[in-house]
């Protein structure tokens, strides 16, 4: 019997099914892994944005983590939406308690519709407490700008920001270039930096507004690849291929931003 690789996804629930835990589970299972979940927040959202958020109490987040990690365990732990500093601290405490080494962090700060889903205190807690425990961080351009405290308008600036973020204690960082200005003709590019060397991963630009859940899908596919023992470089290369296909097969469900489709 083949080994069952387990990915624990920690994040918010998306009632529209396009991002968050729902996207995480689709991505993990598409990669042949078993998905586990810890819900940090419930969101009322659709293709037009987030209408309301209910933050799960910290004690119940801790209870979920204990229930999963004390019995089933996880080969990789991936974090997404963490609204408050208390949530970040709770997750950090359990990562340390259970000795989780394969940690993938998607620093979700702003929802597709523009709503803030990480408070400033949570961002500070993430930088101070979680990043030093993180194997791979997967910010998009705006998130990388916030973490590196600089503007990013070029590939060279992406590399400079990646170095600044690694200096915060992260082992590896992948900056996703979908928000980089002027890339429609030359294609999208992501930059991986492991503290020593830069790697570039490119794909053709796909013209669509239906990109909801791209970041969640990216980080979850990466987490699944790492759970299976792939190297960072091979894992990110596979992510770029699969996420590009997910965007290509994205779904126009309603009038707003439809979801990417990893199962397409």
Residues that are catalytic: 176, 211, 213-216
Query: Measured between alpha carbons, how far is 47 from 52 in angstroms, rounded to an integer?
Result: 14
Query: Measured between alpha carbons, how far is 232 from 237 in angstroms, rounded to an integer?
Result: 9
DSSP characters over 143-174: HHHHHHTS---SHHHHHHHHHHHHTTT-SEEE
Cα angle 225, 264, 82; round to 5: 55
Alpha-helical segments (H) within 118-255? 120-125, 141-148, 155-166, 214-227, 232-248
């Amino acid at each position: 019997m083949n080994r069952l690789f387990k990915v624990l996804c920690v994040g918010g629930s998306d009632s529209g099914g396009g991002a968050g835990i729902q996207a995480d589970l689709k991505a993990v299972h598409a990669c042949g892994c078993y998905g586990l979940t810890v819900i940090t927040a419930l969101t009322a959202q659709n293709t037009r944005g987030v209408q309301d958020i209910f933050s799960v109490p910290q004690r119940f987040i801790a209870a979920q983590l204990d229930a999963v990690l004390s019995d089933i365990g996880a080969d990789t732990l991936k974090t997404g939406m963490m609204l408050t500093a208390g949530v970040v601290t709770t997750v950090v405490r359990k990562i340390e308690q259970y000795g989780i080494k394969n940690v993938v962090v998607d620093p979700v700060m702003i929802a597709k519709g523009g709503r803030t889903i990480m408070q400033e205190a949570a961002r500070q807690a993430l930088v101070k407490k979680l990043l030093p425990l993180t194997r791979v961080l997967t910010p998009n351009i705006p998130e990388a700008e916030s973490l590196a405290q600089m503007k990013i308008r070029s590939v060279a600036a992406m590399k400079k920001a990646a170095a600044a973020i690694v200096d915060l204690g992260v082992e590896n960082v992948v900056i996703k270039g979908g928000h980089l200005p002027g890339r429609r003709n030359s294609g999208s590019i992501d930059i991986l930096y492991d503290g020593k060397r830069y790697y570039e991963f490119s794909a053709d630009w796909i013209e669509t507004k239906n990109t909801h859940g791209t970041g969640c899908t990216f980080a979850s596919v990466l987490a699944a690849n790492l759970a299976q023992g792939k190297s960072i470089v091979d894992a990110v290369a596979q992510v770029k291929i699969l996420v590009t296909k997910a965007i290509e097969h994205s779904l126009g469900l309603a009038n707003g931003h439809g979801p990417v489709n990893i199962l397409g």
